[in-house]
Amino acid sequence: MGGQLQGKGVDVENYPGLFNVTGPAVVSLMRQQAIEFGATFEAETVVEVDASERPLKVRTNSSVIETHAVVVATGAESNWLGVKGEYEMRGGGVSSCATCDGHMYRGKDVIVVGGGDTAMEEALVLARTSGSVTVVHRRDEFRASKILAQRVMEHPSISIRWNTVLVEVLGRASEEEDAEDGEDVDLDAPVQMVVRGARLRDVYTEEESVIEAEALFVAIGHTPATSFLEGIVEFNPDHAGYVLTKGTSTHTSLAGVFACGDVSDSVYRQAITSAGSGAAAALDAERWLSEEGLGNEEADFEAELLAELMADGPGEEDAGGYNAYEDAGGRIEGMKESIASEL
C-alpha cells in the first residue's frame, strides 16, 4: 500500500498541513486511520475482476473476494529508464515529479530526460527556480505539443541535448552533518548517495560526455496499474491505460466500479488531488449502494434474526415473563428492604 508516496524518501511538500514528514510516514498514518475505522488490509495482488454475475468477484493471487462495489485506486507507476544509478539515487536527486521535488534544487543545475508534454512541463516548472535546466532527448525533435516545445526551446534557462540518451546517473556520498557529541553513529548503515551529474551518449557518434547536475528528473510518462480491468471497463481513448469516468464523477462504464486517483487522472497526478478523488469515489460508491438497496448483509441478517426471535416470543398470557425471584421463594434473605421493595 502507498504507491508513489511509499517510494518518496524526501519530505512531502505539496500536501496541505504536512510539514517535515516523508511519504512512507504519511502512508503509515493513513493506514492507521483507516484501520481505526474498521478497514482491513489484504497483502494480495488483484489479477482479475469477474463481472459476469453479481456480486462481483475480485480474484487475487491467492483468494476470491465477493463484493457489490469496487473502488479502483491502484495508481500509476512512473516509467523509468533502468540505467545505472537511477534506482539507487531515488530520493537523492533522482525524481519523476518536478512539482513535488523541484523546490529543493532552487538555484541548482538540473537535468530533465524526455521529449513529450510531461518533459516540457517539468522543464518549464524547474526553469522558474533552478539555476539551469538541461533537457536530454533521444531524437532531433520533441514529441510534445508545438506550443510547449516552442516555449522550452526559447527559454533562456533551458538548453537541449538532441539525439542523446542517458547512460548513467553519477553520484557522490551525501554530506551528512557531523554527529553531536555522545551520539552513536551506525558505521554499518549504507551511505546515502546523491546526484552529482550524468553520463550521456550521442546516439549517432556513440561519443560519451559528462555533465554536472544536482538533480535528474525522468519524465517519460506513467503507466496506470489497470491491466486487470481490460475488457471490464472502458478506457480513455486519448490516454492509454487510464480508466474513463463519467463526467465529473468517479463512475466507470461498469455499474458498481469506481475509479479514482492516478488510474483516471492523466493531468494532475498529485497526492492531494488523488486523496480528494478517493473521497469522491467513496461517496459515489456509498450512494450507489444505497440506491441499489445493497447494504451491509451482516447487519441485515442480524436485524432479520432479531425480528424472528421477537416474533417467536411469549404470548399475551405470558406477558409477565419469567421471574427468577419467584422460583427462589420470592424474598431473598439478607437483601436490603429498599431493594427488595423495588423488586
Q: Please give the positions annotated as active site.
A: 97, 100-101
Q: Enter the C-alpha cell of residue 31.
A: 493506514
DSSP 337: H
Compute CA distances 270 → 3, 66, 106, 202, 235, whole Å: 12, 31, 21, 34, 21
* Amino acid of residue 290: S
One-letter-per-residue 3-state SS of 109-159: EEEEECCCHHHHHHHHHHHCCCCEEEEECCCCCCCCCHHHHHHHHHCCCEE
* Under 8 Å between Cβ of 122 and 137: no
- Check the CA dihedral 269-93-216-85 and report its sign: negative
Find the distance separating the first CA and the last CA of the chain, reported in whole Å. Answer: 58
